[in-house]
Structure 1
Amino acid sequence: MTVIDIPGSKSVTARALFLAAAARGTTTLLKPLRSDDTEGFAEGLKALGYEVRQDEDAWHITGRPEGPAHDTADVYCRDGATTARFLPTLAAAGHGTYRFDASAQMRRRPLGPLSTALRTLGVDLTHEDREGHHPLTVAARGIKGGALTLDAGQSSQYLTALLMLGPLTAEGLAITVTDLVSEPYVEITLAMMRSFGARVTREDGPEGGRTYTVEPTGYTATTYAVEPDASTSSYFFAAAALLPGGEVTVPGLGANALQGDLAFVDVLRRMGADVRVEDDRTTVRSTGSLRGLTVNMRDISDTMPTLAALAPFADGPVRIEDVANTRVKECDRLDACAENLRRLGIEVHTGPDWIEIHPGTPTGPVEIATHGDHRIVMSFAVTALRTPGISFDDPGCVRKTFPGFHAAFGAAHGR
């Protein structure tokens, strides 16, 4: 059995940085993820005037409930979607003029529903080049609060940003959601907000909509331990299910985990892998074969590429449905997975929100087109375990979430 020490969750680290910056007092984050995305978030906080001290295994953030210390700032969000969506929302609760820009890749990703919601709340927000995209400028004067309607069918991050904003408003927020993707990420947000002292409730409507009501409580600093990243764990779990005799245990990620992406192991169980989820750890073991299946991955869409890369080794077709939102990630992940699998000689069919992969033997040599997307690299590293000759045109893009991925993955599988 191989025990893997997975770095901290990117999603949890980003939320914790927002909440710590908004809280009264100094928060200590234990074992936060250190990657390009989270370092970019921390640098963005510093640019806004927040005090952030980074030790090796703990970060200390002195919060400012009143908003950024600086009244002007120019913030570069790098490639990070959480940085690019959360920081302008945090700054909107303060007083000053703040400009935000991002990489070319992040400039292509949409912000429109969040911008519309913030304007509904009275925020003076201007997009410089293209409406609904970076760069943007926020002229902040604090936020009174109120009611708004949000379509979060493209990204749950829009809802998360607004939920975390709620306790900083003068009167609270009532957010009615008409559509929602990746709902487990919202549950992470709610649990973490409560850990920092927020009060938020949810009421489901008679026709499927729901309303989140957030009280204007503010936040209180705390010590917060960041759990291992479930999305990153999916590559190691998939490898264990694929390789004869494979077995991997990830400590710190078990039945009590916040992250919905741990449900990826349920997909592996359906395919025939032996899965044990304990309170504080999860183990996946190969049984020597993998079954085809049809699976809805709307709620765990970040692990769609992991399953796509594993799919050729199943004994029947693997059909992944309801993942339209993966087309607006770092790249169009549906097309990227299909493109690379076809280059490996695998039969693949796609639609607007689905991909179907047929069994086959991937053949190299093939250079995987990563499109600068860390999840494409890490997913096809699984395929490479049974396919000699696979290389990547941009292997270094894993620094976004796991700079040491290649060394860790190689060590875990004798490479």
Structure 2
Amino acid sequence: MDVIVRPTARLSGEIQALSSKNYTTRYLLVAALAEGTSTIYYPAHSEDSDAMRRCIRDLGAVIEEDQEKIVITGFGKKPSDVRELNVGNAGAVLRFLMSVAALSPEIKFVNTYPESLGKRPHDDLIEALQQMGAEVEHQSGKLPITIRKKAFQGGKIRVSGSVSSQYLSSLLFITPLLEEDSEIEVLHDLKSKVVVGQTLEVLEQAGIHIEASSDLMHFKIPGRQSYQAKEYTVQGDYPGSAAILAAAAVVESDVTVYRLEEHSKQGERAVVDVLKAMGVDLTHQNGVVHVRGGKPMKAGEFDGDEFTDGVLAMVAASVFAEGTSRFYNVENLRYKECDRITDYLNELRKAGARVEERQSEIIVHGRPEGIEGGVEINAHFDHRVIMSLTVAGLRAKQPIRIKDAQHVAKSYPQYFDHLKALGADVEWIEQ
């Protein structure tokens, strides 16, 4: 389905932040890897988290769920002998489970999204798993991927962090369960270090001991550990809320978002500071963010690696700032559901934004007067692109039509419902 986004004069109201997708998928995995029963309160419901639910159930976890919580009895170190897993379009779920799959005789990850996840590379993780003795059959690093256990073991492992931190996180989840102690050396640069911090936080909560260097480039992991069955509470999601906060910033507004912890380890918490630096009237106290938008905004320079999944929303906000904004250290955006630099900026240009790209930078020449709109744009099946293009559309002079906007459900199924509740003029259209 498509969405029509019409110019919107004002947003007002209160919403509860969506539960964090990143924490939900991690809690689901550690609960599945535990022997015993764990409880996760307020889990996220999105295509990504649902993909993890589906896959760990296929691997042998027993799951019971109500509106407040999900109860999981894990399979520990012995997943069921399942031949195929379908992660849908969830890249993080695929990468986390590629390591878990090496505990089974043979698992094939099928390719159901050839135009999105099917195009994304996984070579660096494949090479690390091969170092550990797994046999991996793949299509030039891409799906479909078959993993066979063979002589899978710990030891000294080297993995590149230059494309994605998810490869490292995947190894951190599996190495504590192996018989051998392990040492992981991260090669080159490590992207999205804050997300690795989330992984380490969840592992610690699950009773796993890992010794990490201060720069997160070296890790020592004792083997023969066991995940403990625990209770977890999922915090509010900053990546999804970034688009709501950006929307509130670019039009006249009085918007309150609850459940956003000030001291969260989510890197995207930095979007609050980015909006403040741009001159947005915003307060953040006791887990509550309050935005009074519509005032003039100013451009700035920002290190996007600190808030990877919030960059596109902040770029959309900067489209309406006075001056030229620069988002640097963002090359890893090229290796997501689409090329979130080239593809996203091409669509922004169609709507009238003045944007430029470098290999690892996005440059925005602000248009405080607004953009023309009046076009149909392609969101490339990418949930972050859909949400961020919507932000731009709220300040367009003519409506924009976003193709295949249903893919917002990958992380934020209620996104358009929440925007409409705040007063945004958005409408679903059948294709």
TM-score by length of 1: 0.94
The farther-off stretch of 326-335 and 208-217 is 208-217
The equivalent position to 1:286 in structure 2, one of 286, 293, 298, is 293
Of all paired residues, the percent bearing the same amino acid is 31
2:56 is equivalent to residue 49 of structure 1 = no
Check whether the contact 1:256–1:279 (CA below 8 A) recurs between aligned residues.
no
The equivalent position to 1:214 in structure 2, one of 208, 217, 221, is 221
Match of 1:125? 136
2:243 is equivalent to residue 235 of structure 1 = yes
The equivalent position to 1:369 in structure 2, one of 360, 363, 378, is 378
Residues 2-401 of structure 1 aligned to structure 2 (within 5 Å): 2-69=13-80, 71-92=81-102, 94-102=103-111, 103-104=113-114, 105-127=116-138, 130-140=139-149, 143-178=152-187, 179-204=189-214, 210-216=217-223, 217-244=225-252, 246-286=253-293, 288-360=295-367, 361-387=370-396, 388-401=398-411
1:245-293 CA-partner distances (Å, limit 9, x unpaired): x233322212232311111111111100133333433333337111011
Rounded to whole Å, the distance in 2 between the matches of 1:2 and 1:209 is 41
Rounded to whole Å, the distance in 1 between the matches of 2:354 and 2:236 is 34
The farther-off stretch of 220-229 and 209-218 is 209-218
Rounded to whole Å, the distance in 2 between the matches of 1:226 and 1:396 is 25
How well do the aligned residues superpose, as a CA RMSD in angstroms? 1.7
1:186 Cα deviation from its structure 2 partner: 0.5
Check whether the contact 1:144–1:172 (CA below 8 A) recurs between aligned residues.
no
Rounded to whole Å, the distance in 2 between the matches of 1:142 and 1:42 is 28
Check whether the contact 1:50–1:64 (CA below 8 A) recurs between aligned residues.
yes
1:275-332 CA-partner distances (Å, limit 9, x unpaired): 3333433333337111011211012122121122122210111111111111111111
Amino acid aligned to 2:305: R
The farther-off stretch of 14-23 and 211-220 is 211-220
Check whether the contact 1:249–1:284 (CA below 8 A) recurs between aligned residues.
yes
Rounded to whole Å, the distance in 2 between the matches of 1:172 and 1:269 is 45
Rounded to whole Å, the distance in 2 between the matches of 1:282 and 1:167 is 38
Query: Matched residue of 1:283: which SS?
Result: strand
1:115 Cα deviation from its structure 2 partner: 0.7
Rounded to whole Å, the distance in 1 between the matches of 2:289 and 2:319 is 25
Amino acid aligned to 1:403: P
Check whether the contact 1:18–1:90 (CA below 8 A) recurs between aligned residues.
no
1:184-224 CA-partner distances (Å, limit 9, x unpaired): 100000011000001112124xxx77211122322101111
Amino acid aligned to 2:403: D
Amino acid aligned to 2:195: Y
Check whether the contact 2:351–2:400 (CA below 8 A) recurs between aligned residues.
no
Amino acid aligned to 1:202: A
Match of 2:3? none
1:376 Cα deviation from its structure 2 partner: 1.0
1:13 Cα deviation from its structure 2 partner: 1.0
1:414 Cα deviation from its structure 2 partner: 4.8
Higher relative contact order (CA 8 A, sep 6+): 2
1:384-413 CA-partner distances (Å, limit 9, x unpaired): 222231111111111111112111111123
Query: Matched residue of 1:290: which SS?
Result: coil
Check whether the contact 2:164–2:190 (CA below 8 A) recurs between aligned residues.
yes
Check whether the contact 1:292–1:316 (CA below 8 A) recurs between aligned residues.
yes
Any gaps of 5 or more consecutive residues in structure 2?
1-11, 426-431
Query: Matched residue of 2:386: which SS?
Result: helix
1:82 Cα deviation from its structure 2 partner: 1.4
Rounded to whole Å, the distance in 1 between the matches of 2:352 and 2:424 is 26
Number of residue pairs aligned between Structure 1 and Structure 2: 407
Amino acid aligned to 2:145: L
Structure 1 residues 144 and 256: CA distance shift in structure 2, 3 A? same
Check whether the contact 2:236–2:261 (CA below 8 A) recurs between aligned residues.
no
Rounded to whole Å, the distance in 2 between the matches of 1:166 and 1:81 is 20
Amino acid aligned to 1:112: D
Amino acid aligned to 2:317: L
Rounded to whole Å, the distance in 2 between the matches of 1:153 and 1:2 is 41
Amino acid aligned to 1:66: K
